[in-house]
Amino acid sequence: MGIGNSGAADRISYYLTNLLLYNATNSATLEIILGLLKLKVLVDTNIALGGADMQVMCEGKLLSNWSRHRVYTGDVLSFAYAQEGQIAYLAIEQGFSCPRIFDSVSVNLREGLGRALMEGDILCGMDSLQRQKIQGCSVTATLRSSVIPHFKQSSITLRYVAGYQEKYFDKQAFNNTQFVISNRYDKMGYCFEGAPIIPARMHFISEGITYGAIQVTHTGTPIVLLNERQTIGGYPKIGTVLPIDCYRLVQYGAGTKVRFQELSFSEAYDFLEPNSLKEIPDFLYRVSMAY
pLDDT score at 135: 46
Q: Are 187 and 227 in contact (CB under 8 A)?
A: yes
Digitized pLDDT (tens) for each residue of the chain, 291 residues in all: 578 889 999 999 998 999 899 888 889 999 999 999 999 999 999 999 999 999 999 999 999 999 999 999 999 999 999 999 999 999 999 899 888 888 888 998 888 888 889 999 999 986 644 444 444 444 578 888 878 889 988 899 999 999 999 999 999 999 999 999 999 999 999 999 999 999 999 889 999 999 999 999 989 999 999 999 998 999 999 999 999 899 999 999 999 999 999 999 988 887 764 444 444 444 454 444 433
Round to whole Å and give the CA distance between 51 and 20: 13
Q: Give which of 170, 193, 175, 194 is closest to 260, Cα–Cα.
A: 175
Q: How is the chain split into domains, by residue range? A: 11-142, 155-288
Check residue 60 and give left, alpha or beta (phi > 0: left; psi -120 to 50: alpha). Answer: left
Q: Which amino acid is at 50?
A: G
The domain over range 11-142 is classified in CATH as 2.60.40: no
Q: Are 261 and 158 in contact (CB under 8 A)?
A: yes
Round to whole Å and give the CA distance between 12 and 102: 23
CA 51 from chain centre, in angstroms, equals: 8
Q: Give which of 163, 195, 166, 190 is closest to 245, Cα–Cα.
A: 190
Contacts of 109 (CB under 8 A, 6+ apart): 115, 116
Consecutive H or E run containing 156: strand 155-162
pLDDT score at 281: 47
Consecutive H or E run containing 216: strand 213-216
pLDDT score at 257: 97
Say yes or no: do domains 11-142 and 155-288 share a fold.
no
Q: Which amino acid is at 223?
A: I
Half-sphere exposure of 261 (CA within 13 A, CB side): 10
Report, at the CATH architecture level, how domain 155-288 is classified.
Beta Barrel (2.40)
Round to whole Å and give the CA distance between 238 and 254: 23
pLDDT score at 119: 93
pLDDT score at 193: 96
